Structure 1
Amino acid sequence: MNATTDASRTVDATRTTSRGAIAAAVIGNWLEFFDFTVYGFFAVIIGKLFFPSADPTTSLLLSVATFAAGFITRPLGSVMLGVYADRKGRKAALNLTIMLMAASTGAIAIAPTYAQIGVAAPLLIVLARLVQGFSQGGEFGAATSTLLEQGGGTRRGFRASWQLATQGGAALMGSGIAAALSAALPKESLESWGWRIPFLIGVLIAPVGIYLRRRLADDPASTHSHAIERGVLHELFTAHLRPLVLITLTVMGGTVSTYILTFYMPTYAIHTLGLPMSLSMLVGVASGFVMLITCPLFGMLSDRIGSRKRPILFGRGVLVLLLFPAFMLINRFPQLPVIMSATALMLLFYSMGSASEFALMCESFPRRVRATGISIAYALSVCVFGGTAQLVATWLIKLTGSKLAPAGYVAACVVVSLIAVSMLKETADKPID
């Protein structure tokens, strides 16, 4: 009886640790993607207030370029904060990244405009975006490693899948709040102070994240001794270069799909299909909802069947087959129900093909270089392919004259990622460290 009771207590403690790790790890990721969506939605207003120009297009381009600046510092953050997480521990890195995120998001929320302080205003916005990108570069590795390592050796796919589910939740909330503010406030109020509300909400969530992360279990000191004795980067690039390259290519297919199907589709609906902005934002809401709900389910599926690779290969394989018919249907019937349904279907298989990706990434590296390895792979893919996805899609439409060009670009990237996944080793059946 005592043995049974002790076993039950151990299971309960493991589940409690798992829930706490999930909440603490993903909250910073939620904050970053929440800011991503609201910044993109209010890019026109931010352009007017911080990058004034006689040409409205110039103001918008400067605002969008500032948004893109956040991608530039991601690789730097992935190296510096990833090494910090592998040397000093996940908890220390997570606390540092969320404080950097809170400070930079708060700076945007309260930043004086160009009319108030002149050229210092756009410089402040640019600096805030650079810090956000630096922070997110290290946030991913530390948070995803924590999801995998805390909570026991089972259900690793389920825990890691919350990294992607949180991105969907942030997109859902960001799009929803932005659409609600646009509908509820007069244009003058929205441009005067309303646009700051989402950024302030992001700041308010930061103390909760700091509290949760400080309650995480400390990393055992022994797990970092090898990393200190031998350079993390040296070991990563000499002993683990092959999985690093393959994981980078695997992430490429997922990040291009995310940025096109989730974040570019509202823009595509406005500029290519001619839908009004108020309706097009509902496409982003639907996309975020699908990811939030389905990713944990597909993460559980990878645990149940004992494979990370099979859901990825099947989900992304079906996505490739769906892309052209879905985009043809959207262009043939450019109506909101059709666009939302087609996008949701594509994202359903995208979620299947990406939910277990994060567990596969972590399990492909030993703990002593894990946070650095997945941080670099993710940051490089997002910086090179994710940050340019919308630009490339728009350029391809102009170059080819075909509204199906984005589907071709996504399909090509997903095929490359499928080849990379097929070359990786299966990791679901291997003990973690």
Structure 2
Amino acid sequence: MSAKPVGTSAVPPISTPVSQGKIVVAAVIGNLLEFFDFTVYSFFALTIAKLFFPAHDPVVSTLLALSAFAIGFVARPVGGFVLGHYADKHGRRAALTLTIFLMAVGSAMIGLAPGYATIGLAAPALIVFARLLQGFAQGGEFGAATATLLETGSAKGRGFRASWQLASQGAAALLGSGMAALLNYQLTSTQLLDWGWRVPFLLGVLIMPVGVYLRRHIVEEPPSAAKAKGASIEPGLVRKWFLTVFAIMGMTVATYVLMYYVPTYSIQYLGLPPKLSMLVSIGAACSSLTLCPLWGLLSDKMQRRKPLTIIGRGMLIALLYPAFWLMNHFPSLPVVFGLIVLLMIFYTMGSAPAYALMPENFPKHVRAGYLASAYAVAVSVFGGTAQLVVAWLIKATGNTLAPAWYMIACVIVSLVAVSMLEETGGRELA
């Protein structure tokens, strides 16, 4: 069987739909594992707070648990710089295999950690260390995985392939919220507190062998991709790096508030029962999983990334305050569910095409490093702290609409930044 040459020798030898599908799965499975762990942590934040961060005030206990969630993001920039450069220098496969292994170890540590009543202060210390390990791994995960998705296949499908990086977050949230809802329905409160909350973390570890196997069997990059020139610090690239940080800023805040904080918010401030609050996140996760690939595909058809990105973010800014106002004045499951899904429509429109736009702005030999570090910094500073910040804002101001105002401010900055990036749809990669 003969094959026609496609382009130059720099094109990876991946041409069949089946092999491209395997690349997509292998690239996003680590992201799915990481966001699955994060989703589960958010949904069981109140339980983890009781077991590992006991305090006289339940709100303070929750804030401490969310602080442990946020502290994992401290290690992300380090992981982004170290593992992102490693992926550029030694190849995507080596970096992707390492990151999924480290994330699974962190998940196992959380799932097996004894509570505060058993080992005292060592219990929250274990949780914090596990979150730092996962944060370091995820810092390098995004850049290597997104670069792999972008560089695999033809230029016509880059937006669709890259959108699966965000869609995998929806899949993880759906898996996590579905499992949390199932456990809440099937187990008593005592069973959940005793052992039920550990089940998702330990099941998450089972993804690791599958992910390692798939990533070790990715077709190896050609020498030009696997042996990069090394880090390149140029004024133009540094400018794009800062724009990427702020382009991610608003959407990562929206991610962690709309998809992960809303169940806790619905319980504490809207009065929804825990079992129903999980359904809201299931709706948000389904929206992300189904809509992201559609927006990515549409950006390929248009051969433009920025129009959808700008329209989506602009609509999100316009709808956030009215949506939260309606939730607070009509706190029922149909209202909250419908409004979150509506917000997710424009969130995904403003985000999915940008997952191709941002990496396309960097040349191949430094793409993973620049993208990983920019993403890690943005998610660490803004995304990882989002739940903690909005919870603190509500407590400090007494205003339950504070999450909307915080997201609006962040998305406005993000909208300005993304509008300043170069349009890259339809172009050949550098």
Question: What TM-score results when the alignment is normalised by the length of structure 1?
Answer: 0.92
Instruction: Compute the displacement of 1:371 (Å).
Output: 0.7
Rounded Cα–Cα distance in structure 2 between residues aligned with 1:50 and 1:403? 27
Q: Is the 8 A contact 1:18 1:152 kept in 2?
A: no
Q: Is the 8 A contact 2:43 2:264 kept in 1?
A: no
Aligned to 2:314: 317
Instruction: Compute the displacement of 1:388 (Å).
Output: 2.1
Instruction: Compute the displacement of 1:113 (Å).
Output: 3.2
Instruction: Compute the displacement of 1:331 (Å).
Output: 2.2
Structure 1 SS opposite 2:153 = coil
Aligned to 2:15: 13
Q: Is the 8 A contact 2:43 2:260 kept in 1?
A: no
Q: Once the two structures are superposed, what CA deviation does each residue of 1:253-299 show, in whole Å capped at 9, x if it has no partner?
A: 21111122212222222222222222112111110010001000100
Alignment of 1:87-236 (within 5 A): 87-228=89-230, 232=231, 235-236=232-233
More helix per residue = 1
Q: Is the 8 A contact 1:71 1:387 kept in 2?
A: yes
Rounded Cα–Cα distance in structure 1 between residues aligned with 2:224 and 2:351? 32
Rounded Cα–Cα distance in structure 1 between residues aligned with 2:341 and 2:316? 11
Aligned to 2:9: none
Q: Is the 8 A contact 2:283 2:337 kept in 1?
A: yes
Alignment of 1:14-413 (within 5 A): 14-52=16-54, 59-228=61-230, 232=231, 235-236=232-233, 238-413=235-410
Instruction: Compute the displacement of 1:65 (Å).
Output: 2.1
Q: Once the two structures are superposed, what CA deviation does each residue of 1:39-74 show, in whole Å capped at 9, x if it has no partner?
A: 122223323333455665554443322222211111
Q: Is the 8 A contact 1:283 1:339 kept in 2?
A: yes
In structure 1, what residue type is equivalent to 2:223? A
Bigger drift between 26-35 and 219-228 goes to 219-228
Rounded Cα–Cα distance in structure 2 between residues aligned with 1:216 and 1:252? 31
**Structure 2: 5+ residue stretches without partners:** 7-11
Q: Is the 8 A contact 2:27 2:96 kept in 1?
A: yes
Question: What TM-score results when the alignment is normalised by the length of structure 2?
Answer: 0.93
In structure 1, what residue type is equivalent to 2:77? P
Distance 1:362 1:120, change over 3 A: same
Structure 2 SS opposite 1:275 = coil
Structure 2 SS opposite 1:429 = coil
Q: Once the two structures are superposed, what CA deviation does each residue of 1:131-190 show, in whole Å capped at 9, x if it has no partner?
A: 001001111111111111112332000000001111111111111111211221122222
Instruction: Compute the displacement of 1:12 (Å).
Output: 9.4
Q: Is the 8 A contact 1:107 1:125 kept in 2?
A: yes
Rounded Cα–Cα distance in structure 1 between residues aligned with 2:141 and 2:180? 25
Distance 1:325 1:425, change over 3 A: same
Distance 1:153 1:261, change over 3 A: same
Rounded Cα–Cα distance in structure 1 between residues aligned with 2:402 and 2:122? 40
Rounded Cα–Cα distance in structure 2 between residues aligned with 1:124 and 1:396? 28
Q: Is the 8 A contact 2:305 2:356 kept in 1?
A: yes
In structure 2, what residue type is equivalent to 1:267? T
Query: What is the root-mean-square deviation of aligned Cα atoms in Å?
Result: 2.3
Q: Is the 8 A contact 1:18 1:159 kept in 2?
A: no
Rounded Cα–Cα distance in structure 1 between residues aligned with 2:121 and 2:394? 35
**Paired residues, what number?**
425
2:421 counterpart of 1:419: no
Bigger drift between 272-281 and 30-39 goes to 272-281
Q: Is the 8 A contact 1:14 1:152 kept in 2?
A: no
Distance 1:73 1:337, change over 3 A: same
Q: Once the two structures are superposed, what CA deviation does each residue of 1:70-107 show, in whole Å capped at 9, x if it has no partner?
A: 11111111011111111111100000001111111112
Q: Once the two structures are superposed, what CA deviation does each residue of 1:316-370 show, in whole Å capped at 9, x if it has no partner?
A: 1111222222222222211110111111011101101101111111100011111
Rounded Cα–Cα distance in structure 2 between residues aligned with 1:400 and 1:50? 27
